[in-house]
Amino acid sequence: MIDSHAHMAFDGYGDDRAAVIERTKQQLSGWIEIGTTVAESALAAELAQEHKVWASAGVHPSDIDSLDEAGWQQIEILLQQPQVAAVGEVGLDFYRGGSLEQQEIVLRRFIDLALKYDKPVVFHVRDGKEVSAHEEMVRILESYNDNERPRGVLHTFSGTREQMRRYLDMNMYISFSGVITFKNAVETVQAAKEVPLDRVLIETDAPFLTPEPHRGQRNEPAYVILVAEKLAQLRGVSVEEIDQITEENTRRLFNLSV
């Protein structure tokens, strides 16, 4: 199977990064190394090239204040590299505040790049106390007609089932992480039960969101099997079926040929 969203270049992996990557290679077909800043997107591309996996290039909405024109140019250069399969992670995050206007302007520019280079978008969406990031993301995506809207995935889905249906109506993919193993993730679990299997991805978001029974420890891509097992349990199918379906979906969305 493929971990569709991980951050192996993060500082959470130190002296044992090589060992974690080796475990990943032994157990998975690979992972997508996700960029969150200009510098980390460059590291993601390097790591992907070194280990023959895939990367994305983008800037997390919480880090857009540091994004200047030189950074935009660097992102565009990265998107032309063969191992860079997506734009992301980009989106809306109001957990600690933030300007909707500013985040939307940046997000639409990233969408323009995704369309220019025919890449999918890895969408990060996190609600705030007073602002629903998912409702705003739906509004933004619905403002594009079907021929102009990028393809993409809502990573570590945290919205409602109704919001999920609206994303699906726009042909988006829905990705679930170790959150579906958490006891308090009631709405997310219900979404995982209902999402069409041809639209679902699995991920770890490593080193974050470690699934049970390892919650509280550092996450790693090999733990995506625990997400697959939980999803299989929720859907009443075999882990092997989830393995096959999610890998096919990941390869289709990101246009992964090898």
Q: Residue 69: CA atoms inside 13 Å, Cβ hemisphere, count?
A: 0
Question: Do residues 150 and 115 make contact, with C-beta atoms less than 8 angstroms apart?
Answer: yes
How many C-beta atoms lie closer than 10 Å to residue 241's C-beta? 14
Order across the sheet with 2-6: list the strands: 2-6, 30-33, 54-57, 84-93, 121-126, 152-154, 173-176, 200-202
For residue range 30-86, list pLDDT tens digits in order: 999 999 999 999 999 999 999 999 999 999 999 999 999 999 999 999 999 999 999
Give the per-residue pLDDT at 257.
Answer: 77
- The span from the CA of 4 to the CA of 246, in Å, is 9
User: Per DSSP, what are the bridge partners of residue 55?
Assistant: 33, 84
DSSP per residue, 172-202: -EEEE-GGGGSTT-HHHHHHHHHS-GGGEEE
Q: What is the pLDDT along the chain (258 residues), one digit of tens a residue?
A: 999 999 999 988 988 999 999 999 999 999 999 999 999 999 999 999 999 999 999 999 999 999 999 999 999 999 999 999 999 999 999 998 889 999 999 999 999 999 999 999 999 999 988 889 999 999 999 999 999 999 999 999 999 999 999 999 999 999 999 999 999 999 999 999 999 999 999 999 999 999 999 999 999 999 999 999 999 999 999 999 999 999 999 999 999 976
Q: Give this prediction's pTM.
A: 0.96
CA trace torsion 218, 222, 224, 229 (10° rounding): -110
Q: How many C-beta atoms lie closer than 10 Å to residue 42's C-beta?
A: 19
Residue where the block lists tokens 């809306």: 92
